[in-house]
Amino acid sequence: MAQKKEVSRIYTFSDSLLKQKADGFLITVQRDLDDFSSRGVDLARLNSFEEMIDEFDHLTEDGTMLGYIIIATEDRNKKAEHLRVALRTLRNMVENKWGVKSFKYRIYKFDRLGQTSDEVLHRLARAVRKYAPDQLADLASEGLTQEKIDQINILDGIFEDAIDNQLAAVGARDISAQDRVMKGNLLYKEMLRLCNIGKDLFFKTDPARYNDYIIYDSLPNKRKTGKKTKAKTRIKELP
């Protein structure tokens, strides 16, 4: 299955500035609504534009979504450490009973316990579920009980859930970011359309009101050195 193409912004300023500019142009078009009516812009169209602004403004900010990821990651790390502590205790039991060179020790692959990979830690827990019950009688003298084996299984399940939650938070942030870009682009397109109409209406009749519909103060496409640079792809406003 082909990957969904990532949507890119068509405006070059921040989301907060887009909202600020859209609010300002909404007020300006409301002022000039009689003139805009000749171009098919009525109160219903402006209400729709205002709803687009409100919808964009109420989208969850990326900083908030990042915060959810941080919280989920911290929780995953905490659950991983709980599981790691329980596995260290079992490792100590097996080492004391048979030594680190014994086959009964090596089947658990305890040498990987210091690794940070979630998958490795999960594999170690599965090894306990597979091998520890058969060693229960031999390790009883070291303090191993069925309850302790069950506890490792429980901690592994909790850890697996924490991994899923962290991945879900990452995915939710990606979806939120794309949704914000798409809605921002739609808002920008409508704002640009209204501004282009405004500039067309007042191009020769009212320079002051013409200037009220300029989105960008300038449209630089060269560095100060005079060398050409590749401009960001966006829909340009009319001059």
4 compared with 60, residue with greater pLDDT: 60
Q: How many CB atoms lie within 10 A of CB 223?
A: 9
Q: Provide the percentage of residues in the chain whose pLDDT is more than 90.
A: 85
The DSSP line for 126-183 is HHHHHHGGGGHHHHGGGT--HHHHHHHHHHHHHHHHHHHHHHHHHHHHHHHHHHHHHH
Three-state SS at 228: strand
Q: What is the mean pLDDT of residues 130-151?
A: 97
Three-state SS at 222: strand
User: How distant is the alpha carbon of residue 174 from its chain centre?
Assistant: 4
- Residue 238 main-chain phi, psi, to 5 deg: -75, 150
Q: Please write the tens of the pLDDT for every residue from 12-64.
A: 999 999 999 999 999 999 999 999 999 999 999 999 999 999 999 999 999 99
Closest C-alpha to 93, from 121, 123, 59, 131: 131
Closest C-alpha to 146, from 157, 134, 159: 134
7 compared with 86, residue with greater pLDDT: 86
Residue 120, CA distances (Å) to 75, 92, 222 in order:
18, 19, 52
Q: Please write the tens of the pLDDT for every residue from 193-232.
A: 999 999 999 998 999 999 999 998 754 444 444 444 443 4
Q: How big is the chain by its Cα radius of gyration, in Å?
A: 31
- What is the spatial distance between Cα 57 and Cα 49, in angstroms, rounded to a whole number? 12
85 burial level (CB within 10 Å; 0-12, 13-18, 19+): exposed
